Amino acid sequence: MEDKLHNFFNEHEFDVHEPRSGHLDRFEKRLQGVQPKKKLSWKWMSVAASVILLIGFGLGNMTNKEVGLPSISPKMAEVQTYFINTIDKEIREIEQNRTLQTEDLIEQALDDLEELEDNYKLFVQELEKNGQQRKIINAMINNYQQRLEILQKTLEQIELIKNPQNINDEIYI
């Protein structure tokens, strides 16, 4: 072990010499040439922080206004929650059954859902403009029902693809 350590120090050159004369003076001159950074005053920073907080609270209050079925009544909020939870559950179930055979079917269903989502956004805009009209509210609920129908039909078709023998059994019954 001692030989390896000795060989290591012999093979490598280490700088063990003292710096040239005047090294400290040259270093101090370089330090004097560097301009110190200006410190920001606490007053300026506190004003900026206050303005940012006020803007943040203002934007937060504006975005917290919920438009859509929940803005109509607590019952409508429950209806929307039911539909959203059911749709999410159905989508998760469909995604679990994704295979090469079901890929196109699932993608078509998701495209249809995306189109219905875009339509729903238009209904929300109409609700904002025209107020709580029964026609718009019914269209929004119908939109959710259409989404569920698409998902349920897709699940049925996936089941038929997964179990083709069930088709033959149903025909002969």
Residue 108 has pLDDT above 70, yes or no: yes
Is the separation of the CB atoms in 140 and 128 below 8 Å? no
Mean pLDDT of 119-140: 85
End-to-end CA distance of the chain: 88
pLDDT 10s digits, 80-91: 889 889 988 998
Whole-angstrom distance, CA of residue 165 vs CA of residue 173: 13
pLDDT 10s digits, 130-140: 877 788 888 88
Is the separation of the CB atoms in 158 and 105 below 8 Å? yes
pLDDT 10s digits, 53-101: 556 655 554 444 456 677 777 888 888 889 889 988 998 888 888 888 8
Whole-angstrom distance, CA of residue 140 vs CA of residue 129: 15
Residue 145 has pLDDT above 80, yes or no: yes
